[in-house]
Amino acid sequence: MDFSWGTPQETSVVDGYLDWFDHVYQPAGGGALGYRPLLVRVKPTGRPATLLKTLRWIKRKLDAAGQGADFLIDGIERAHLDRLLAHPPAEDAAPDLFLHVSKSLGDFAAVYGRWLEPLPNGGARPPEPSTRAPAGGAPHPAPVVAVIDDAIGYLNARFTTGTAPQRKTRLAAIWLQCEDSITDTDGQIGINCGRVLQAGDIDALLAQGDRLDEPAEYSAMNKALYDRQISPVWHGITAGGGSELASTHGTIVADIAAGADPLDGADTLCACPMLAAQLPPQAVEDTSGATLQPYVLRALRWIIWQADRLQVDGQHRPLVVNISLGVLAGSKDGTSLIERQIAAEVYRREARTGRPMRVVFAFGNDGLTRQVGTFDLEPEAPQSVTLRVQSEDYTPSFVELRPEDPDALLIGMDSLLSQPLVLGTVPLGHSVSLARGSAPAVARIYAIAPQQLDGGGQTSASYLLAIAPTAAFEAGKPLAPSGPWQITLGTNAAAQTVRIEVQRDDRPLGFQALARQSYLDDTALWVWKPPVKTKYAPKADGPVTRIGTESGWLSAGMPEQVYCVGAALCDTGFAAPYCATGGPLSAREPGVSAIGDSSWTLRGVLASGTLSGSATVMSGTSVAAPQITRQLAVLFASGADIGPWHPPSINAKREMAALSALDWSYVPQYELDQLGPLAVSAEAGLRARLDNGYRP
C-alpha cells in the first residue's frame, strides 16, 4: 500500500522542528527529556507587587521541585537567580530567566502567567544605550574575547602565556555544556548543563608542564560529560567529544579570534582575557538548529555575566563575542529568538557597563548548495520544483515556505511511493500528514500561524515540510521514501512571491557523515553558465537561486553592534564561490569580509589543531568571522574612542574605517563576488602563518 496524505488536522504546534524530532526519535509521553528551555520574564506580584516577591516565589518552587515538576532550572541560570535575589533589580527592569518547562504542562501562560511571561521569541529590544564617556578620556581596559562554538582545546598553548610549567591560561572560564538532563541530588531535582572550568582549574592542569597529557585530559572530561548520553539525532549512538579529534571547529575559530604565541609579550591579544562556551555535541550535530538556539543564547548570557567579573579598577571591559555557527532557513526578518534576544542582551550590557559589546556572526557558506528558491506566483498558474531527498539519510529533512499571503497559498506534493497531495490550502494552525495506513507519519506539513511578539508586532506565518529520515539504526522508526519530491505551489488570490528554503543538514567538522543534504533541483541548473559581470545578482532562470542564502540567524534589522562576515579568496580580493548572497529581508551582502581561503588552489586558513603545537586548515565564513573578532579586539585594546556614549552609527563608521584600512582591502568586481567593504587582515597573527608557517 502506498503512502497517502490525510486531511488537515488542527494543531497548537508553534515549532514544527521540535515536534517532528519528538515524533521521529522519541517515544510517546515526553521523550528522553520531558523538558524544554523557555525564556520567561519575571513579573512583580504580591501586595504591594514587587519583583523580589516573585523571585522568592520562584526560588521556593525550584527548591521544592520533585519528579514531574512543572519547571526546573539549570545551574547557570540558578546562579543568576541567586544574584537577582541578592541584588534585586529595579521594579521597572523586569529580568528574564531560562526555565526548563515540562512538555506535558500544556499552556504555560495559562498556569503561570500571573508570575511569569513566556518569551518564546525573545524580549523586545530595549532603548538604544546612551552613557557618558569615561572621565578624563580614560582608555578602555583590554577587551574580553569570547567564542561560542563546538569542541575547544582549552589546554592549547595558543590560549596561554608564559612557558611550561609556569604557563598560565588566558581563559578566565570555559563552560563545557552537555545536553540538558535531569539531576536528583538528595531529592533536589534540577537540570545538569555541563561543567564550568575556571582559570584555576585549567592552570592546575597546565602546571604539570611536560607531563601534561592533553589527549588523556580531554578524553576523561568527555567521558564524564557525554559517556552516558544518547544522541537525539543519531538515535542509539552515544555522542562523543570532539576535543579528542586532531582538528575541531571550535579550536580553529578560537585560535583565529584570540590565539597568540604565549612567548610574544608584544602581541596585543596576550593581554586580552578569553571566555569560551563549548556547545553540546548533540546540539551541534543537529544542523537544523532545532535545539541549538537556546544553548547559544544561554552561553551568551553566561559569557556576559562572566565578563562582568573581569573588571579592572572598577571599570568594565569591552566584550567581543564570536559565533561562527548558524542555519540556512529561517524568518530572516528579525523575529527569531536568537536575533531578538542577542539584540536585547547587547543593548542591556552596553547600557549597564558603559562599554562596547560586539557580536560577530559568519554570513554563511550555502551560496552554491541549491537550497533556496523563489516563486513569483500568478492565479491559476501553479509552479513546481523538485526536492531531492537522498537515500541513506539518517536525519530528517526540512523545507520552509514563507509566502506573502499565507491564506491564499495552495500547496501540492508528490513523491514516488505516495499518493499525491492535491493542490489546495492547508489552513493556518493545522497540519497534514503523510502515512501508510495507521503507521506513524513519514512526512508532515505544518501551517504555523503568526505569533505575537513582546513589545508589539508578530511573526510572519510560515509552512514547514518535515520529512523523516530515509534510513535508521533502529527498527520501528518512521522512514520516508527517498528520491524526487515534487513541490507545487499556487495562489488563489492576487499574485504573490513565496520563498522556499531547504534547511541545512550537512555534517559539522568532526561528526560522522550520516546526514545527506536534501536540495532543490531544476532543469535551469543543468547548464553551466559563467559569472556575469554586473553590479547586482541577476535573477535566476528558474526558481532556484543563490539570493537569500545567508544564515537564518541574520536580518537587515540587526543592531550596528552585530557584524555579519563573508569569506574572500585572499590573493584575488573576490568572494569565495560558496559565500552566501543576502536576500530581500537581510543585508544584500555581508557587512565586512575576511579570508576564507588562501587562494583558488590553497584552500582554507591556517590555524591551530586541537593539541598544542599542531596545525590545520579550515575554509569558510566560519574562519573569516574570527579574523574580524580579532581586529575588533585589537581596536578596542588601542583605546579607540568607541563606545555607547556615541550613537551606534558613529561607532560603526569608525570601526569600519579601521577595518578597511587594513592591508589587502579590495572592492569586489563580479556579481558572484559581491561582498561590500572587504577587510582582510594582515595582522601578524594571521599573515605570519600564511607566509612563514605556523608558530605554536
Beta strands in 8-115 (DSSP E): 9-10, 35-42, 71-72, 96-102
Chain CA centroid to CA 508, Å: 13
- How far apart CA 319 and CA 287 sit, in angstroms, is 27
How many alpha carbons lie under 13 Å from residue 152 in its C-beta half-sphere? 31
Cell of 459: 511573526
- How far apart CA 298 and CA 77 sit, in angstroms, is 8
Q: Please report the pLDDT score of residue 400 as a whole number.
A: 97
Q: Which residues contact 445 (CB under 8 A, 6 or more apart)?
A: 411, 413, 421, 426, 431, 432, 433, 463, 464, 465, 466
The answer to whether 62 touches 99, Cβ cutoff 8 Å, is no
- How large is the angle between the packed helices 337-353 and 292-308, nearest 10 degrees? 10
- How far apart CA 379 and CA 377 sit, in angstroms, is 7
Q: Which residues contact 74 (CB under 8 A, 6 or more apart)?
A: 98, 100, 180, 190, 191, 192, 193, 298
- How, if at all, do strands 383-389 and 519-521 pair? antiparallel
Report the mean per-residue pLDDT for the chain. 86
How many alpha carbons lie under 13 Å from residue 146 in its C-beta half-sphere? 30
Nearest to 319 by CA among 333, 309, 329: 309
Beta strands in 363-429 (DSSP E): 372-377, 383-389, 397-403, 409-415, 421-424
Q: Which residues contact 443 (CB under 8 A, 6 or more apart)?
A: 3, 413, 433, 434, 465, 466, 467, 468, 480
The answer to whether 281 touches 633, Cβ cutoff 8 Å, is no
- How far apart CA 377 and CA 403 sit, in angstroms, is 10
- How far apart CA 508 and CA 248 sit, in angstroms, is 10
- How far apart CA 168 and CA 201 sit, in angstroms, is 11
Q: Please report the pLDDT score of residue 239 as a whole number.
A: 52
Q: What is the pTM of this model?
A: 0.93
Element (H, E) at 218: helix 214-226
Backbone angles phi, psi at 596, to 5 degrees: -110, -30
The answer to whether 37 touches 283, Cβ cutoff 8 Å, is no
CA distance readout (Å), 396 to 150, 444, 496:
22, 11, 29
Nearest to 97 by CA among 147, 64, 62, 66: 62
Chain CA centroid to CA 129, Å: 25
For the chain, list residues with pLDDT below 70.
Answer: 1, 26-33, 135-139, 228-241, 506-514, 528-541, 571-573, 585-589, 599-601, 661-696
Cell of 147: 567564542
DSSP symbol at 325: -
- How far apart CA 461 and CA 320 sit, in angstroms, is 34
Q: Which residues contact 161 (CB under 8 A, 6 or more apart)?
A: 167, 168, 170, 262, 265, 270
Nearest to 169 by CA among 268, 272, 267: 272
Secondary structure of residue 621 in the 3-state scheme:
helix
**Domain 369-525, what architecture?**
Sandwich (2.60)
Strand partners, 147: 276, 322
Chain CA centroid to CA 677, Å: 24
Backbone angles phi, psi at 527, to 5 degrees: -110, 125
- How far apart CA 118 and CA 320 sit, in angstroms, is 29
- How far apart CA 51 and CA 85 sit, in angstroms, is 9
- For the chain, the structural domain boundaries read 33-118, 135-366+551-692, 369-525
CA distance readout (Å), 556 to 83, 215, 344:
35, 43, 16
Nearest to 629 by CA among 608, 655, 603, 604: 655
Please, where are the H alpha helices in 548-637?
A: 621-637
pLDDT tens digits, one per residue of 228-256: 555 555 544 445 567 777 889 999 999 99
For cell 535508521, name the residue: 472
Please, where are the H alpha helices in 407-476?
A: none
Q: Which residues contact 146 (CB under 8 A, 6 or more apart)?
A: 274, 275, 276, 277, 303, 307, 319, 320, 321, 322
Cell of 440: 506513524
Nearest to 468 by CA among 393, 526, 531, 401: 393
Secondary structure of residue 350 in the 3-state scheme:
helix
CA distance readout (Å), 49 to 42, 44, 45, 54, 546:
12, 5, 4, 9, 53
Strand partners, 160: 169
**Same fold? 135-366+551-692, 369-525:** no
**CATH number 3.30.70.20 is the correct assignment for the domain at 135-366+551-692:** no
